[in-house]
Amino acid sequence: MTALPRKDAYRCGTAALVGRPNVGKSTLLNALIGWRLSIVSPKPQTTRHRILGVLTDATSQILFLDTPGLHKTGGRAINRQLNKAARQTIAEADVVVQVAEAGRWTAEDEAVYETSTGREGKPHLLALSKIDAKKDKKILLPFIAELDKSHRFDGILLVSAHKKDGLDELLAAIRKLLPENPPAFAADEITDRSERFLAAELIREQVMRQLAQELPYSTTVEIEDFREGDQRAEIDAVIWVEREGQKAIVIGEGGLMLKAIGTAARVAMKRLFERRVHLRLWVKVRENWSDDEGALRRFGYAD
């Protein structure tokens, strides 16, 4: 095992949040850093990129890495790329924090565990989420005991991102396992992602939230122009779909759906960027973009 840092040493390192799709990794990241950085929706595979969230205090700096959910590939290029991004993050992290739903351990959770463990010297914590949904926490004791018996975790913690329960305990467990390092970012920095990237994500969040179950997985967002100012940001963006029929659905009758997406995204950007936002949206077709390696590189999925 890697030697732990001295008790009084400053600690800085990466903690990868990993798990199956839709288990609450992004919601947990946002709760841990106290900032709405990663987009969330009820649909699986909302997260498509590795998102860095920085939490700094007097004794440590935790570089959280939110990852796409590990899943069966389905054969498409984007699914392979999402799994690749998650696996690379696991390989590079100092600490792996697997997120699973309290009281539920699926074959997908086991596959994530198998992918995440076995790396010599890499600490592996388990964060059991959504404990606020359990009225009687005692019923979780046999579940936790069985997981602890059959798996090698450096700690099992109960958390609720919604209620903010157990977050301090999880942070303390992560800090103990970080290496000795000076901070990698300034104290007021929360991510290495640009406002341009975050704008695209906020638009895609509204696409995920407001469109039918399957259509969001055929869409992506590209920022064509981002003009910054102290008082206002002007943004031109394209929502890409794979078929003409999908374009009509995203626009909606009389443009109402596109307007709703744009309005909600603009409100979220104004809150995040702390200035006024003028947003213009278009919908365009690029056939089969999610299975096209060149298109994935263009849209930022191969970084």
Average pLDDT over the chain reads: 91
Distance (Å, whole) CA 248 – CA 262: 16
Q: What's the confidence (pLDDT) of residue 190?
A: 96
Task: Say yes or no to pLDDT of 192 above 60.
Answer: yes
Task: Say yes or no to pLDDT of 271 above 80.
Answer: yes
Contact assessment for residue 285 and residue 247, using Cβ atoms and an 8 Å cutoff: yes
Give the CA-trace dihedral at 21, 223, 75, 19, to 10 degrees: -20
Backbone angles phi, psi at 118, to 5 degrees: 90, -5
Q: Which of 157, 164, 167, 158 is nearest to 131 (CA)?
A: 158
The radius of gyration of the chain's CA atoms, rounded to the nearest angstrom, is: 20
Q: How far is CA 41 from CA 45, 60, 223, in A?
A: 9, 31, 21
Distance (Å, whole) CA 232 – CA 225: 14
pLDDT band, residue 212 (cuts 50/70/90): confident
Q: What's the confidence (pLDDT) of residue 303?
A: 58
Of 118 and 265, the structure prediction assigns the larger pLDDT to 265
Question: Token pair 């102290």 is at which residue?
Answer: 230
Distance (Å, whole) CA 124 – CA 138: 24
Distance (Å, whole) CA 53 – CA 39: 12
pLDDT in tens, 134-180: 777 788 999 999 999 999 999 999 999 999 999 999 999 999 999 99
Sign of the Cα pseudo-torsion (254, 258, 264, 269, in order): negative
Give the CA-trace dihedral at 145, 149, 151, 156, to 10 degrees: 30
Sign of the Cα pseudo-torsion (25, 28, 34, 40, in order): positive
pLDDT in tens, 37-57: 999 988 887 889 999 999 999
What's the half-sphere exposure (Cβ side, CA atoms, 13 Å) at 165?
14
Range of lowest pLDDT (23-32, 70-79, 265-274): 70-79
Q: How far is CA 298 from CA 289, 293, 294, 302, 303, in A?
A: 10, 9, 6, 8, 10
Task: Say yes or no to pLDDT of 8 above 80.
Answer: no
Topology of domain 11-177, per CATH?
Rossmann fold (3.40.50)
Range of lowest pLDDT (3-17, 19-33, 101-115, 241-255): 3-17
Range of lowest pLDDT (45-49, 108-112, 126-130, 265-269): 45-49
Hey, where are the domains in the chain? Answer: 11-177, 195-298
pLDDT in tens, 214-260: 787 899 999 999 998 778 999 999 999 999 999 999 999 999 999 99
Contact assessment for residue 134 and residue 102, using Cβ atoms and an 8 Å cutoff: yes
Mean pLDDT value of segment 172-190: 96
pLDDT band, residue 58 (cuts 50/70/90): very high
Q: What's the confidence (pLDDT) of residue 72?
A: 74
Mean pLDDT value of segment 118-136: 82
pLDDT band, residue 2 (cuts 50/70/90): very low
Task: Say yes or no to pLDDT of 75 above 80.
Answer: no
The string of DSSP codes covering 179-195 is PB---SS-TT---S--H
Q: What's the confidence (pLDDT) of residue 302?
A: 74
Q: What's the confidence (pLDDT) of residue 74?
A: 63
pLDDT band, residue 1 (cuts 50/70/90): very low
Does the domain at residues 195-298 carry the CATH identifier 3.30.300.20? yes
Contact assessment for residue 31 and residue 55, using Cβ atoms and an 8 Å cutoff: no
Q: What's the confidence (pLDDT) of residue 15?
A: 98
Contact assessment for residue 175 and residue 62, using Cβ atoms and an 8 Å cutoff: yes
